[in-house]
Amino acid sequence: MLSEPERIIPTLSHIPNITYLPTNVGLGLEAARHFVRLHAARVILAVRNSTGRHGVCEVWEVDLASYESVKAFAARAVKLPRLDVLMASAGIATTRYSTAEGHERSITVNAISTFFLALLLVPILKTMAQQHQGANPHLSVVTSEVHVWTDLPEWKTDNTVTTLDDETKANMNMRYPASKLLQVFLTCELASRLEGSGVVVNMLQPGMCHSQLTREDGWMTAILKLFLARSTEVGSRTLVAASSAGPESHGAYMRDGVVDNDGLSSFVRSEDGEAAQKKL
d(CA 154, CA 57): 41
**Active-site residue, 180 included:** yes
Task: Give 221's contacts (C-beta < 8 A, 6+ positions apart).
Answer: 214
Distances in whole angstroms, Cα of residue 1 to Cα of each of 6, 26, 142: 10, 21, 18
Q: How far is it between the farthest Cα atoms of the chain?
A: 52
**Active-site residue, 278 included:** no
d(CA 77, CA 96): 32
d(CA 128, CA 81): 9
Strand 258-259, strand 253-255: pairing: antiparallel
Among 180, 225, 278, 279, the active-site one is 180
Do the Cβ atoms of 188 and 251 come closer than 8 Å? yes
Distances in whole angstroms, Cα of residue 218 to Cα of each of 91, 98, 104: 19, 20, 22
Task: Give 270's contacts (C-beta < 8 A, 6+ positions apart).
Answer: none
How deeply is 247 buried, as exposed, middle or buried, from its count of CB atoms within 10 A (0-12, 13-18, 19+)? exposed
The SS3 call for residue 133 is coil
d(CA 266, CA 232): 28
Among 71, 176, 253, 279, the active-site one is 176
Among residues 149, 249, 265, the alpha carbon closest in space to that of 194 is found at: 249
* Residues designated catalytic: 176, 180
